[in-house]
Chain A
């Protein structure tokens, strides 16, 4: 960032911001790892009364998982379009990614309200607490992702358009978005299917 002429660039051969971002993502693994571990530990314990697992709506969640998965596709297409400097396509794919993300979020909100009406509040029992905190933490990530995508889309509308150089550009948002997606791949299996 502060390089002047005589200063060499990146002895590792990886762009500095990208390197920093990947380290951030590696750390995120530990965040979600802790949450998932807690979930697994408490999942093994029996509690009296109706279980949250009994009210899962697997078809519904499968569809929203699929939606999130496909948003990764649109994201990578947006990235690809920008690599070819096709601003128009980039914006289209960006917006569709944000929309798919929003659909997923809406699905999660719907799911949470359903569960809530069936009597599962945050503090009802340990299992619903872990469920809400784990999936909610992921939902928060998706929300931040959607905001970032929309911000990018907004910047893309300006005269100059988007580029892959400079600050918090599309590449990082894409990495972040895919990361949120892979976390969901794990969560879908761990939380719902197993």
Chain B
């Protein structure tokens, strides 16, 4: 029998949550795995919404001078599509991976601060709900003094200043109503969530590593999480302050970004992209990590140039802070700045190239098992290379002044963020599916998903390069028939629906396989990293005792030796060892203390949207309510005894 020490149910002040199943167990959980799963589902839900928004955009653009959406609706849709996909879909899906895998990969029992982890999840949820509540409560209209022919929007009013919120267009004068306030404050709340998790992950990686897990033995995914956390920790404060300024401008009549009052709209661009460019790497680095796990596993070869890949990842993260103004080449910046940022942007292609070549080196000479996760990873390389190369054309500043703000850029960053990040994420979702659910996904459906998606993806975003070069600007509600852009736009729209179809296949596979899939066993892939050395689905306590890591790809080296030819030979006792591991994984031999569930993260987080509404509607009672919830949350949190105190009590008893 397992010996889990039950947390003490009664503390000094508040009753501890005690449900182990059912909805309350999820609401009060501090288990990184449950939080990871919740992150995943929530993010996927928002991914679907963002996808539907994209489809609406594509219907509108399918033919020239179309009238399917009004200008206001179109603008709201592209703003929300961008905001949703970045802040509510890809970032939290990455967070889902971080949460679930990070402690497993470094052999820890949980993250460094489990309650803080729950807090960031709930802040994310409340931030997302707050942002989307704009469809119910928000208002938007024509700029002050402007006229509209009809009602603003049949969909409810959503932010319409673009996900980048360029000032002064997103200011109160040109975007009146409350919708843009929802955007500014919503992002602020979501930023807090990411910031908190960044502290948590950095600390976890540094301090929760198991015995022998030196930094240079960590899996690449862990390394990329580490890099991403730094990017978050150092870039989010900048946007937080910039969003403060926006909120002040919109609510309290300041003029930080308004020229009339001496403000500077270009300063917003600097602050936004100081955050916004690291953000790009925040979105893509997790996928780099995932791919670096999948490729070696299914090539049956170690990762080629592990140190190079790690350093390149940090190189990208570091240089990523120094290239922000390449988003502003057409903006009011000097030629010197253009040249400088053009060069720094070129430089970032080097570590990215190093990664790509190392991945190619990994599969070269391997024994490639072309199953779904591997296909997505290979597809990732192929698509990301295209995105990377079009990225290099942006660093050629004069050429970029032709391409910027056109569909060429849209094509570029979808190749990077969809062909890159999303392909990597899907690869990861299939790869770790058996670890999370203990079941195997359906390979045939998985392959259909892949082929539909790669065809749909290229149909959608490939022609966009051409459209951009032919002069189709971004964020364009209609385009004139005379511009001769209709044909390719139609193809693009068809492609978008093929992607939608592929997502349906994915969902069917997921739902079906999670219930009816065959049992996966704990190491279905003959994998390399230690998260596969524990049973699937992962037991609540992860490792029944702290593993001791002796090398990079420790789990592989437990199973395989190398012969004189350098080829792997299965160790003699490997099967027995695995059986032993599984047995022990399910039946821990020592006492296990798990972090206690808590009500307070969700209570604390629930205060933030009320503060947001209070700022927008200038309602004091809401502000008091919000503050009260935050105070109750923090007080309860602070007075809730820690696990160590339980331990002491138990020992005393």
Write the residues of chain A forming the contact surface with B, with a CB cutoff of 8 angstroms: 1-8, 10-12, 14, 16-17, 19-20, 23-24, 26-28, 30-31, 33-35, 38, 41-42, 45, 47, 122-123, 125-127, 129-130, 133, 151, 166-168
Contact = CB atoms under 8 A, between A and B. Distances in A.
Nearest to B253: A123
Given A1-B114, A33-B238, A126-B256, 11 more contacts: A1-B110, A7-B108, A8-B211, A16-B112, A16-B203, A19-B206, A27-B199, A38-B267, A122-B253, A166-B642, A166-B644
Interface stretch (B142-150, B241-249, B522-530): B241-249
B546 A6 contact: yes
26 contacts: A1-B113, A4-B590, A5-B590, A5-B591, A6-B590, A11-B207, A11-B209, A12-B206, A16-B208, A19-B203, A20-B199, A30-B237, A30-B238, A33-B238, A34-B238, A34-B271, A45-B262, A122-B253, A123-B255, A125-B261, A151-B638, A166-B642, A166-B644, A166-B645, A167-B638, A167-B642
B207 A19 contact: yes
B593 interface: yes
Contact of A133 (B109, B110, B114, B248): B248
A42 B590 contact: no
Query: How extensive is the interface on chain B, given as a class?
Result: 35 or more
Contact of A16 (B207, B242, B593): B207
B240 to A, nearest CB: 7
Contacts of A11: 206-207, 209, 213
B110 A23 contact: no
Contacts of B590: 4-6
Contact of B241 (A14, A31, A41, A42): A31
B254 interface: yes
A14 B108 CA distance: 17
B262 A2 contact: no
A33 B235 CA distance: 11
Interface of B: 108-110, 112-114, 195, 198-200, 202-203, 206-211, 213, 233-238, 240-242, 244-245, 248, 252-256, 261-264, 267, 271, 545-546, 590-595, 638, 642-645
Tell which of B199, B210, B211, B594 has the most Cβ of chain A within 10 Å: B199
A129 B256 contact: yes
Contact of B546 (A7, A16, A19, A42): A7
Contact of A27 (B234, B264, B645): B234
Contact of A23 (B199, B235, B252, B271): B199
A129 B229 CA distance: 32
A4 B255 contact: no
Given A8-B546, A20-B203, A27-B233, A41 B209 contact: no
Contacts of A23: 198-199, 202-203, 233
A34 B239 CA distance: 9
Contacts of B592: 4
A42 B109 contact: no
Contact of A129 (B109, B195, B254, B593): B254
Contacts of A133: 244-245, 248, 254
B364 to A, nearest CB: 35
B210 A126 contact: no
Given A2-B643, A5-B590, A129-B255, A20 B200 contact: yes
A31 B233 contact: no
Given A8-B546, A19-B206, A24-B199, A126 B263 contact: yes
B237 A31 contact: yes
Contacts of B240: 31
A20 B252 CA distance: 35
B62 to A, nearest CB: 42
Nearest to B256: A129
Contacts of B595: 1-2
B112 A1 contact: yes
- Nearest 3 pairs of A and B residues by beta carbon: A123-B253, A30-B237, A126-B262
Nearest to A125: B262
A127 to B, nearest CB: 8
